[in-house]
């Protein structure tokens, strides 16, 4: 049996491993994005996700246009975050014949979600599902504007 004077964990590293830093969306930022839809008394669902597509906040307004909007808003936001582009571009790709895109599970390839970009990096996305696709995009843009995007 060999006894060591110091544990391996207590010894200083000869070379430090560089760590990366990244910006992340806070719950406060997500609430600020969603507040615009509430302030305008729009009826629908808004979802904000992080850069991995994981839900930070989902808000279903009173009298939301469709109960399916809970799934749609979150799925659109997830798609925008992970593909790093507006969900409308995915819908358009499918409409132009890129049918294989519909096999991607867990994504909603419909317009209504926009990535949140800070310092040229996607840090999350906002997705909306209201009564029309055009209104979905308007809500998402309004949410981004609340962050100064």
Q: Where are the domains of the chain?
A: 27-146
CA gap 17, 105 in Å, rounded: 36
- Which residues are registered as beta bridge partners of 127? 47, 113
Provide mean pLDDT across the span 86-91: 94
Mean pLDDT is lowest, of 11-15, 39-43, 62-66, 108-112, for 11-15
Neighbours of 98 (CB within 10 A): 12
Beta carbons within 8 Å of 22's beta carbon, 6+ residues apart: 51, 121, 123
- Please give the C-alpha separations between residue 5 and each of 37, 49, 91, in angstroms, as whole numbers: 62, 48, 63
| SS3 at position 31 | helix
User: CATH class for domain 27-146?
Assistant: alpha beta
CB neighbour class for 24 (10 Å; exposed up to 12, middle 13-18, buried from 19): exposed
Q: Which residue has the tokens 């798609």?
A: 79
Q: How confident is the model at residue 9 (pLDDT cuts 50, 70, 90)?
A: low
What's the pLDDT at 7?
52
Between residues 125 and 63, which one has the greater pLDDT?
A: 125
Beta carbons within 8 Å of 113's beta carbon, 6+ residues apart: 73, 76, 77, 79, 80, 86, 87, 125, 126, 127, 128, 136, 140
pLDDT above 70 (res 3): no
Q: At what angle do helices 133-146 and 27-39 cross, to 10 degrees?
A: 130
The string of pLDDT tens digits covering residues 94-126 is: 999 998 888 888 889 999 999 999 999 999 999
Q: How confident is the model at residue 39 (pLDDT cuts 50, 70, 90)?
A: confident
């Amino acid at each position: 049996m060999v006894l060591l004077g110091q544990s391996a964990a207590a010894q200083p590293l000869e070379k430090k491993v560089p760590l990366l830093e990244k910006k992340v969306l806070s719950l406060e930022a997500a609430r600020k994005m969603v507040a615009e839809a509430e302030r305008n008394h729009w009826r629908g669902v808004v979802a904000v996700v992080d850069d991995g597509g994981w839900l930070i906040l989902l808000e279903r307004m009173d009298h939301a246009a469709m109960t399916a909007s809970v799934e749609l808003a979150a799925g659109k936001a997830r798609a925008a975050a992970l593909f790093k582009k507006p969900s409308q571009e995915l819908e358009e790709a499918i409409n132009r014949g890129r049918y294989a895109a519909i096999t991607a599970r867990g994504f909603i390839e419909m317009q209504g979600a926009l990535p949140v970009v800070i310092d040229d990096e996607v840090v999350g996305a906002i997705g909306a599902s209201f009564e029309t696709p055009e209104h979905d995009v308007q809500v998402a843009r309004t949410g981004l504007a609340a962050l100064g995007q």
